[in-house]
Structure 1
């Protein structure tokens, strides 16, 4: 009787863990439609967000974030502890952000985050950064009007 209970509990635990693994859906990086955004140089990556405060970029970035980042960094950029809370990034972290997203994060031979440069162009990555800027303003209770004033 005890063996059958142990087998049942073990089977239940395995089924639950398999569900958790597949609950994130397709983990392959998704392309981002950046139509409508100002085109950026193809041969030179910018070190500052050219779309900061741009409402269209923020909207595109929100969708791209949900498709590519939320499974690890959390819905609405609110980390559950697995990956850094991106709402903590300030405008001074642009170069850090773009380098991590382009190249990924590896430590001790393990990939913690894949590089996205081959899947997303500069426009898409900066659009995601624009969305994260907005989430930072909301998280810190800053006036969003100040963010939108920074748009070119």
Structure 2
């Protein structure tokens, strides 16, 4: 009976979790020490160029080659991403967001994750 009640509670809470994940609540899960991290490749054009290649190989299938989002996946040229700290973005890349289908990219070396962030920082905000 307890298992049944737990399953019912999970089913009832799932929509709330999905809604919460879609409005940037993931930012609240980022530990302060991660939030404060700085990109060691910030402002380096060669790192951003390497990040662009990595983005096209790993991220474009969901976020689009222009990072504006595909198939209900979010744009990475939004205010939310633009205003996120490098540490918050690094945490998201490493841990993912299972509520929204974002896989963790912890298997990608940390240096490469920072390069992707360096590339994202070169993108202008979308006008959508």
| Alignment partners' CA distance in 2, 1:64 and 1:129 | 10
Q: Secondary structure at the match of 1:77?
A: coil
**TM-score of the superposition, structure 2-length normalised?**
0.62
- Partner residue in 1 for 2:90: 98
CA offsets, 1:50-94, max 9 Å, x none? 212211001100000000000001112121352221112226432
- The answer to whether the 8 Å contact 1:87/1:133 transfers is no
- From the two aligned structures, give the one with the greater strand fraction: 1
Unmatched runs of 5 consecutive residues or more in structure 2: 1-33
- From the two aligned structures, give the one with the greater helix fraction: 2
Superposition pairs of residues 61-140 of structure 1, within 5 angstroms: 61-80=51-70, 82-88=72-78, 89-90=81-82, 92-107=84-99, 112-118=101-107, 120-135=108-123, 138-139=124-125
Greater C-alpha radius of gyration = 1
| Alignment partners' CA distance in 2, 1:91 and 1:125 | 18
| Alignment partners' CA distance in 2, 1:112 and 1:99 | 16
Q: Secondary structure at the match of 2:66?
A: helix
Superposition pairs of residues 20-31 of structure 1, within 5 angstroms: none
| Residues 112 and 53 (structure 1), Cα distance of their counterparts in 2 relative to 1, 3 Å cut | same
User: What count of residue pairs does the alignment treat as equivalent?
Assistant: 92
